[in-house]
Structure 1
């Protein structure tokens, strides 16, 4: 009885396969190839845009909880806002005993100490290329900074000056045209409104000279306001006004130094930054502006003294500190360095120090060498940067590439040695050598800071997700089957029949073996 039933089932299955024409197989494989191809395209786009697989992310988010797995936390929760104070433990480790830094401090966004002028530089780039170099997230952080630096609660009170009242709301405006118009209205009502002059110098002036002229006019009023408010700091209200006036005065002087640097007056700029460092040592990252001026003047001795002061284990690091230290040490040996000679006799003491400094700098920010060696195109730096991220690398290389080119052989030494850093840190996300492990959230934060037309530098380089490889293989195989079925319908039809028969054989054999274990009445059912 069992053999008769098995024969009957096999006969029906064979008849079903014989009724399938080659057109069915072409349609089946073609449809499968089309669907898998669409999935592949979407997966690839999602991976390039967000750095992860959509299917994998959905599986971890929605399927893993049902299976009892842990949900991977979103990196965006670690990308904090703009920070004005540093936590040294976030960036400095101790050799092989380095421990993971707190996730909250990994991706703090910092204001770029050498940020460009919007009107004279960023807007000119937009006019020429038609592309916006700043993201909404970056500009929103700048708006928050401006509100913190240039306003206080008394500006919006009944005792506030009319121009300051208008500027209190101007810094919150999204539209640049509205901000500029409000600044002009503020100057009409209050000719000595310093913050209005700052906004016009930043956003309306179309040349560096125009910006410098406006900043110099604002400096006179800013100095007067600061001296006046300093005499009445005995009340909380005047303390806030005095703090605001000091921020405005320091900002204007710093911007004048940056304008002088851009106009080729490096000595004048260096003097401004040096005076600011003496008078206001707490100013955030003012030493980076000073280092840039000293390198432009080739005053390497003073530059080394600045590095000695700020390149301390208790202070937060930056790409400027690490790579300038590497440049100064490379300068001593780069002009005579030869990789062929060094491979035969080994590195001497000075060369070893230079190479170690390069490895240290690359470990801190591995994105910089590609820009210094010009293997990756530079873009305008953003107004905010992420330390150890691609945004910081762009900001550093944009201003310091000329300094590396000026030192003969420095780029050649960097080219020969920088990739050796990665042999010391095979698992950079888990354990560092001289610094804490590389933060895993930099990619997410940098995507928010940098424009979409920039190809983001990702470290460590991610492998393609499994689902992209799987859908690519599925699409290729089904497309090949569709083509072969269309070209050789009879042969592929016979092959499909043999394939499906082979697939069905184990199940028929299993049913045959299980039949004696069950009552006959349970297995004897047929479709009429």
Structure 2
């Protein structure tokens, strides 16, 4: 080997000899600290958003720079149509629906807050309700009504938009001072009444006032678009939370199916066989036709909403249902179980049959996000929407399918543990770990030394000398 080679080896050897055990302790300790901080951040980000931060940054920013998938490539018409159908279905599945069986804020939600100190409704959920009320109960001609006009601002429109409950209630009382306003009674029944009896009394007053407005607008509805809008508004007031409207939400075949439809059908079929059902007997003789129908109905229901069984089997604690739900999501499961758990308990053996059969659904749909069995693939947007609808402060949102820990969390956990172990060993046995570190670095640089030897043997010594000087 030439003089350059000896110079490189001597420099490396001198550098390794100058490193003290304190340097190795500081190096491994710092590495452990940094990897630990990365692990903590990755875990927090995964718990909050359900994905790895490093993976998300890699896919979103680094992949396009490295030549990711080009979305501009032409596709045939069948693919485009299929993607459009999937997109429409995804939008339909991820739409947030008003819960037709939501509770009263004053008599039920607020009572829960008084007892526990927890807020059962999220701001996002209440804001959607405010938008619903403005859509149902207002129209462009509201400024002509006495109860809706004060100083150029709509009293009841202002009440529906207010975030402060006391301001909403105060505005409703102001509207009642001007006239017998049905929507003001509705607001007070929902938010001020502290008992169901008081809410019923206010709703009866709202019905009486709403019928008068409805009769007046019915006579004028054909006199122009303005009067037609007033009649539609007064019709919505009378039809608010109407039993027929609730049934229509469940019976309209143009809407997506619901957990209520699927699980009620499963309960009705289970009722015929659940009292005599035994998993041991069924495994010996096989399932009868009626039992097979009941099991298939349960599998169908679980595929539609896989979150419900844990609430019915009381494997997961219930909370008050939100004012809006997401079909196939955790919010719909809570709303269904809150009102229907008692029906499953009344049917002897129904919960036992559910307990024995519901997990079998997942064997038929190993990749639920890609392909379903009886329904469309499970939408991936449910977790994000449910986190907006449900109070995540004291409720752990149910996630399906259960997400595995991302690779980068496992990698940083292993790196943190390994460097922490090295730091501890270096602190306890500095001399021995120093020898190991020097041996490791020498082994690490051995291939480089071998390559440099080969290069020196091939190139002329004068050329190699000039290159090292450069």
TM-score (norm 1): 0.82
List runs of 5+ in structure 1 lacking aligned partners.
73-88, 90-97, 255-272, 278-282, 289-309
Aligned equivalent of 1:246: 235
Distance change >3 Å, CA 286–CA 483, structure 1 → 2: same
Q: Structure 1 residues 71 and 476, CA, compared in 2 at 3 Å: closer, same or farther?
A: farther
* Aligned residue number for residue 307 of structure 1: none
User: What is the root-mean-square deviation of aligned Cα atoms in Å?
Assistant: 2.2
What does the per-residue CA deviation read over 1:285-338, in whole Å, with 9 as the maximum and x for residues that have no partner?
A: 5565xxxxxxxxxxxxxxxxxxxxx496x6521000000000011011111100
Alignment CA distance shift 1:117-1:7 (3 Å)? same
CA contact (8 A) 2:2 2:461 kept: no
Question: Does the alignment pair 1:509 with 2:450?
Answer: yes
Residue in structure 1 matched with residue 343 of structure 2 by the alignment: 403
Structure 2 unmatched runs, 5+: 72-81
* 2:125–2:388 Cα contact (<8 Å) kept: yes
SS, match of residue 376 in structure 2:
coil
Number of equivalent positions: 452
* Offset of residue 16 of structure 1: 1.2
Relative to 1, partners in 2 of residues 1:518 and 1:161: Cα closer, same or farther, differing over 3 Å?
A: farther
One of 342, 353, 370 as aligned partner of 2:293: 353
The residue aligned with 2:217 is 229
Tell me what 2:79 maps to: none
The answer to whether residue 334 in structure 2 is matched with residue 421 in structure 1 is: no
Task: Indicate how the Cα distance of structure 1 residues 286 and 117 shifts in structure 2: closer, same or farther if over 3 A, else same.
Answer: farther
**Is the 2:106–2:192 contact (alpha carbons within 8 Å) kept by the matching residues of 1?**
yes
The answer on whether the counterparts of 1:101 and 1:437 sit within 8 Å (CA) in structure 2 is no
> What secondary structure does 1:251 align onto?
coil
Cα pair 1:187 1:193 within 8 Å, conserved: yes
1: CA distance between counterparts of 2:70 and 2:141? Answer: 47
Distance 1:17 1:146 in 2: 75
Does 2:146 correspond to 1:161? Answer: yes
Q: CA offsets, 1:93-133, max 9 Å, x none?
A: xxxxx978633223011000101111111111122222211
**What is aligned with 1:334?**
274
- 2:214–2:231 CA contact under 8 A, matched in 1: yes
Q: Name the residue aligned to 1:198.
A: 186
The DSSP-based 3-state class of the residue aligned with 2:240 is helix
Matched, 1:106 2:106: no
Q: Displacement of 1:7 after TM fit?
A: 2.9
Q: Is the Cα contact below 8 Å between 2:147 and 2:176 reproduced in 1?
A: no
Aligned CA distance change for structure 1 residues 186 and 8 (closer, same or farther; 3 Å): same
Residues 342-378 of structure 1, C-alpha deviations (whole Å, 9 max, x = no match): 0111100110000000000000000100111111111
- Indicate how the Cα distance of structure 1 residues 339 and 398 shifts in structure 2: closer, same or farther if over 3 A, else same: same
| Mapped partners of 1:370, 1:187: distance in 2 | 46
Distance 2:302 2:343 in 1: 17
Task: Report what 1:21 is aligned to.
Answer: 20
1:233 positional shift: 0.9
Note the C-alpha offset of 1:36. 0.6
Q: Is the 8 A contact 1:113 1:285 kept in 2?
A: no
1:22 shift after superposition: 1.2
Asked if the contact 1:61/1:71 (under 8 Å) is kept, the reply is: no
- SS at structure 2 position matched to 1:110: strand
Q: Distance between the aligned counterparts of 2:227 and 2:215, measured in 1?
A: 12
Matched ranges for 1:277-426 at <5 A: 277=244, 283=245, 285-286=247-248, 310=251, 316-426=256-366
Q: Note the C-alpha offset of 1:185.
A: 0.9
TM-score normalised over the length of structure 2: 0.92
Question: What residue in structure 2 maps to residue 455 of structure 1?
Answer: 396
Decide whether the 8 Å contact of 2:307 with 2:398 is kept in 1.
Answer: yes
Q: 1:225 touches 1:245 (CA, 8 Å); kept in 2? A: yes
Q: Which residue of the partner structure matches residue 55 of structure 1?
A: 54
Instruction: Give yes or no for contact 2:5–2:453 (8 Å, CA) kept in 1.
Output: yes
Contact kept in structure 1, 2:302 and 2:309, CA below 8 Å:
yes
Distance across 2 between alignment mates of 1:32 and 1:328: 61
Rounded to whole Å, the distance in 1 between the matches of 2:137 and 2:463 is: 86
